[in-house]
């Protein structure tokens, strides 16, 4: 145990978790930014296991180059007493496996929000020529504000333009979420992550992995030869477009899947807009001006620039700051990478399903959502 020891000027105060080869600790330094971090320490000495050291160094290298709201940030990495460590963003939350096990029925609107965030992170990774290869609930953290963070790029593949799994290379990944091409040792590409994501979404909706079985061989046979129970046989509140997206993700032939995570994002947006049937009018009450702004468009853009539907003449507002999308009678607000962020009820958000009475802060402007 490393409690009370100091790594990279952070004092370790608590063990957060322990895996097969590494432990994660909470560490603090009130004089640094951020004041709290998570430090992942490889439990073996650097000379003891070359493979795990390589994976650990790869995770540190990849994530240190990434900057995306849905990927865990890496601040630094190095060696402490002959053991590798990574100093990373501390997330006050739990991984998705906890919520799958402990939630009776997860609302579809929550799962749609998670889907969008996961696809956004994967799209970013894929555009940077990185395949995760181990998308599973344990590698996706949900914070207390509903924000998703993907972690553990330790077995990721870099440079997706090349043949990615060479003949004879050992299969990497987790059996429950492994694509057929991974199982067979065929060449993999970014569609492998899409398959794993689809299996994860199925599990979030149903509470059960579609190929759950007692033995690894039975699980593998499921991925290769079986068809999952249709989602609408298990739940009747899953929108048809969402079922279509998940089914396309988990098809066994990778050529029949989405070609990229970006395509999933576009499908989510377009399918929602196609099926929009607004039952009631929603509006924003702009507290600064006492005006009521009715939300009529399927997409309403908010920002400082003249191209926006709602124009805010405020230097703290970005030119294209946020947008509200109408989807399946849901109103979804999304921050568009603004400089100062978008707050809902006092908390910064990336994407949020609006509820009656939500208070929205954009720059110095306050709105109340009404429906």
Strands 93-95 and 10-18: unpaired
| Beta-strand runs (E) in 144-266 | 148-150, 157-158
The DSSP element (H or E) to which 192 belongs, if any, is helix 191-206
SS3 203: helix
Question: How many CB atoms lie under 10 A from the CB of residue 48?
Answer: 12
SS3 291: strand
Longest pairwise C-alpha distance within the chain: 68
| Distance in angstroms between the alpha carbons of the first and the last residue of the chain | 52
- What value does the CA radius of gyration of the chain take, rounded to a whole number of Å? 22
Kindly give, in sequence order, each residue whose CB lies less than 8 Å from that of residue 312, ignoring residues fewer than 6 positions away: 302, 303, 304, 321, 362, 363, 365
Compute the distance between CA of residue 254 and CA of residue 258 in angstroms, rounded to an integer. Answer: 8
Cβ pair 118, 146 in contact under 8 A: no
Give yes or no: 8 in active site: no
Q: What is the token pair recorded at 306?
A: 């003249």
Compute the distance between CA of residue 148 and CA of residue 263 in angstroms, rounded to an integer. Answer: 19
Question: How many CB atoms lie under 10 A from the CB of residue 9?
Answer: 11
Kindly give, in sequence order, each residue whose CB lies less than 8 Å from that of residue 202, ignoring residues fewer than 6 positions away: 209, 210, 228, 231, 246, 250
Catalytic residue among 95, 134, 152, 358: 134
Catalytic residue positions, numbered: 134
């Amino acid at each position: 145990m490393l409690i009370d020891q100091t790594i990279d000027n952070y004092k370790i105060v608590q063990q957060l978790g322990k895996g097969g080869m590494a432990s994660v600790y909470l560490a603090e330094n009130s004089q640094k930014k951020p004041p709290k971090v998570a430090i992942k320490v490889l439990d073996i000495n650097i000379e003891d296991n070359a493979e795990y050291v390589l994976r650990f160094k790869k995770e540190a290298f990849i994530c240190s180059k990434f900057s995306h709201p849905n990927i865990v940030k890496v601040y630094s990495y190095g060696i402490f007493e002959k053991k590798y460590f990574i100093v990373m963003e501390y997330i006050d939350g739990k991984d998705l496996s906890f919520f799958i096990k402990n939630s009776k029925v997860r609302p579809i609107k929550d799962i749609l929000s998670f889907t969008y965030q996961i696809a956004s992170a994967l799209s970013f990774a894929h555009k940077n020529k990185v395949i995760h290869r181990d998308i599973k609930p344990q590698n996706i953290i949900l914070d207390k504000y509903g924000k998703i963070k993907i972690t553990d790029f330790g077995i990721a593949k870099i440079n997706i333009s090349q043949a990615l799994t060479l003949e004879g290379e050992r299969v990497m990944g987790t059996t429950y979420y492994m694509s057929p091409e991974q199982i067979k040792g065929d060449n993999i590409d970014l569609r492998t992550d899409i398959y794993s994501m689809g299996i994860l979404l199925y599990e979030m909706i149903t509470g059960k992995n579609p190929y759950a079985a007692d033995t690894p061989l039975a699980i593998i046979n499921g991925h290769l030869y079986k068809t999952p129970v249709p989602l609408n046989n298990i739940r009747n509140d899953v929108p048809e477009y969402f079922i279509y997206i998940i089914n396309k993700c988990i098809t066994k032939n990778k050529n029949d899947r989405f070609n990229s995570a970006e395509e999933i994002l576009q499908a989510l947006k377009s399918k929602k807009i196609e099926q929009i049937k607004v039952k009631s009018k929603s509006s924003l009450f702009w507290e600064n001006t006492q005006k009521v702004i009715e939300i009529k468009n399927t997409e309403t853009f908010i920002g400082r620039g003249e191209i926006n539907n709602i124009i805010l003449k405020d230097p703290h507002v970005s030119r294209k700051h946020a947008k509200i999308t109408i989807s399946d009678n849901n109103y979804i607000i999304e921050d568009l990478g603004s400089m100062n962020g978008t707050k809902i009820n006092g908390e910064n958000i990336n994407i949020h399903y609006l509820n009656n009475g939500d208070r929205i802060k954009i720059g110095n402007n306050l709105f109340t959502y009404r429906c």
